[in-house]
Amino acid sequence: MTSTRTARSSREPNSIWCPRIPTAADFLGPSKLMEKNVVALIGPQSSGIGHVISHVVNELHVPLLSFAATDPTLSASEYPYFIRTTISDYFQMNAIASIVDYYQWKRVTAIFVDDDYGRGGVEALGDALALKRAKISYKAAIPPNSNTDVINDVLFKANMMESRVMIVHVNPDTGMRIFSVAKNLQMMASGYVWIVTDWLAAVLDSSANRGLKDMSHIQGLIVLRQHIPESEAKDKFISKWNNVAHNRNITSGLNSYGFYAYDSVWAVARAVDKFLSNGQQINFSTDPRLEDSNGSTLHLSSLKIFDGGEQMLHQLLLTNFTGVTGPVQFDSEHNLMPRNTSTSAQQLHDVVWPGDSTTKPKGWVFPNTGLPLRVGVPIKASFKELVSGRGDNMSGYCIEIFNAAIKLLPYPVPCQFITIGDGTKNPSYIDIIRMVAANSLDAAVGDFAIVRNGTQLAEYTQPYIESGLVIVAPVKHVTSSAWAFLEPFTLEMWCVTVALFILVGIVVWLLEHRTNEEFRGSPRRQVITMLWFSFSTMFFSHRENTVSTLGRFVLIIWLFVVLIITSSYTASLTSILTVQQLSTGITGIDSLVSSSLPIGYQAGKFTKRYLTENFNVPLSRLVPLNSIQEYADALNRGPKNGGVAAIVDEKPYIDIFLSNYCSFRIVGEEFTKEGWGFAFQRDSPLAADLSTAILQLSESGQLQRIHDEWFSRSSCSSDDSEVGATRLGLGSFWGLFLVCALICLFALLVFFIRVCRQYNQYSSSEAAGEPSTAAADPVLRQRRPSRLGSFKDLIQFVDKKEEEIKKTMKRRSGEKDSQAAGFSYAQSVASA
């Protein structure tokens, strides 16, 4: 655009006239760029040239609007005068990641042109896949302007990799030859997946008359196309384009970039119109730093800086209109705002994949590199039933499970077993998993527990055996003593039980004494009756009947408590007289942790970390052991002789250990739940396929048959109920005792409320029955209530039979009525 200010018209924006705005094609020759004074630039048509021109326009303060530079690395932070009027590749790479995630593929191969456009797009693809827990397993870079031989070599190497999901992000010059070469390499057959970015849709839309031969190369591809919503403006533009193309014999069609280019022109036209409307002048100035060197043909001294470049950029960023592509607005990063950034792939329809297959491809195969799978196997000093051998002569339970699962895979997987460990000391299992994560190994096979820190490094298969931590401790046979019958309860339990027997006897006596003849008599007889009744309930042989409601209520609750106590006593005494006793008194993980005794664990396994992190067991208490011989020796020596009180290890190891040593037992419950699995590199498809194979082994029963072959039956009894009979303490019964005591107190409270009420009624009736002279004698009237209200009178009242009290009160009530009648008769005679 020249520096001459043009006259503006008062017509609508779609008829604004402005001087010609050059495109990037005008500046492919340096002289053209230097000869013209430019206020805005539209283009270029590639990201690579966009990087170069962006440096120039930054210095000249000329806004650059690109409708085709989709490289996400072209940003306003580096190029402040760059404005993207199309959609960044960031969004279509997220769309591809959603497609990959929808079909549950985890690894892809990226085929891209090795320039700014290709590298920027692949970098965005890698970030998008990482969010879906997938990744680019191989990058196949094609140099720009490569011939067919170079493309053939690149695709051949990509075909040697395991991934069969090909993401193609190239330019049109190279793209169509890729599919021709891929077909010759049999890479368009069944089992492959080809996902192509929008460059191919642009080529197909622009080339309406492409030959059938080229179309046969791209059957089964998933191609992305930028969505331009239908609108009246779009239809009018297409109609005008078709008329012009017909009149001028133009054979190329419109693609999405053509629509964005059209809107870019109108965006600049509107910005220039507003720039001039605000009274801005179009002026240019020279930069004295730009000088031509001797013999230079660049003519740097002729370059002019647009003085109003910042104001023009501001007007462009304020653009807000509806074009043929939809709303045209720019965000703070100078990018066109997408209309819909949703990447949901939930509405995908059925796909006809390469090879005319409608079955979803698995997306990977075992890599055809000629190299076997590197399988790390731990070799330990003991537990040879699990893993043993060297080189190709590996055997054991874990190895047989792995080989059986490998045979079920629908493809051959050659394996090379790599033993880790010298057979005298156990290797670190987490270090082996780290070797898998670091690509030093492809897999780890053996007795690998599936634990949290391992899953953060590698991918595990379905567990092939359940496992969990248990405690094993030494036991001894105890000879019963003459006082063995006292051992079921602790001293505290005995004392509380006896006290409760006496308490219940007293309560029942109080409740029954006033109404039941069997609970009356001389003091000596009543004490004997109370104690006999109380302790005879232990055997449910009490002779005395309870007649009061409260007494029966207390007795029912007490008989239930007695039932629980006697049942528990019988069970505990039976255990004490018949079973073995733990030498150390350890009964479970809680008692083991709370003690200060040393604990043994298998060296190299996760047990040490688990005990220190979850139970805060000091390292000084933990003793590493490597073999079952060391297990037995440490347990036999015990804590006092440099051994251990108990060993914490996984259940399968302890089963093997107890099959050889009968003087030890598992105590307590299994306090963790995990399993053993095979470890592979993260997102390895082999992990999923091996998991399916393990499930097939389980369903067919082969998994159990292999287990029975390698895990021999122990000749020792392993019944946990035979180990460690313990004395019953108050802690097991305090709730029951508390309920019983509260019920007794409640019954006593109700009883005394009734007694006090009867006592008040009895006192009132006694006062009313005194001779009439007492009413006339003030001294006697004041003294008698004090005597009747004494505590001694209350105790005497309680000791009386309730039936006698009721008869006395009834007699006094009759005497009161007779005295009242006599007094009335005397008054009537006197008045007469």
pLDDT digit string, tens, across residues 156-192? 999 998 899 999 999 888 888 999 999 999 999 999 9
- Is 706 a residue whose pLDDT tops 90? yes
Q: Give the span between the Cα atoms of 183 and 148, in whole angstroms.
A: 13
Whole-angstrom Cα Rg for the chain = 49
- Is 516 a residue whose pLDDT tops 60? yes
For residues 740 and 561, the answer to whether their CB atoms sit within 8 Å is yes
Residue 708 makes CB contacts below 8 A (sequence gap 6+) with: none
- pLDDT for residue 540: 62
Average pLDDT, the chain: 82
Before 22, cis peptide (omega within 30)? no
For residues 268 and 43, the answer to whether their CB atoms sit within 8 Å is no
- Is 92 a residue whose pLDDT tops 60? yes
- Is 71 a residue whose pLDDT tops 90? yes
* Better pLDDT: 807 or 590: 590
- Is 812 a residue whose pLDDT tops 50? yes
- pLDDT for residue 792: 65
- Is 17 a residue whose pLDDT tops 60? no
- What pLDDT, in 10s, does the model give residues 190-240? 999 999 999 999 988 887 665 545 677 888 999 999 999 999 999 999 999
What type of residue is 282?
I
Task: With cut-offs at 50, 70 and 90, classify the pLDDT of residue 5.
Answer: very low
Share of the chain above pLDDT 90, in %: 47
Of 339, 271, 270, the C-alpha closest to 86 is 339
- What pLDDT, in 10s, does the model give residues 314-355? 999 999 999 999 999 999 999 999 876 665 555 678 889 998
For residues 147 and 203, the answer to whether their CB atoms sit within 8 Å is no
- Is 11 a residue whose pLDDT tops 60? no
Share of the chain above pLDDT 70, in %: 78
- What pLDDT, in 10s, does the model give residues 631-670? 999 999 999 999 999 999 999 999 999 988 888 889 888 9
The structure tokens 């997306």 sit at 363
pTM of the model: 0.62
- pLDDT for residue 775: 46
For residues 142 and 150, the answer to whether their CB atoms sit within 8 Å is yes
- Is 286 a residue whose pLDDT tops 90? no
Question: Which 3 state secondary structure label does DSSP give 477?
Answer: coil
In the DSSP assignment, the letter for residue 193 is E
Biggest CA–CA distance in the chain, Å, is: 165
Task: With cut-offs at 50, 70 and 90, classify the pLDDT of residue 575.
Answer: confident
- What pLDDT, in 10s, does the model give residues 396-409? 999 999 999 999 98
- pLDDT for residue 366: 79
Burial of 7 (0-12, 13-18, 19+ CB in 10 A): exposed
What is the residue-wise DSSP string for 384-416?
TTTSEEETTEEESHHHHHHHHHHHTSSS---EE
For residues 579 and 423, the answer to whether their CB atoms sit within 8 Å is no
For residues 150 and 174, the answer to whether their CB atoms sit within 8 Å is no
DSSP lists the bridge partners of residue 55 as none
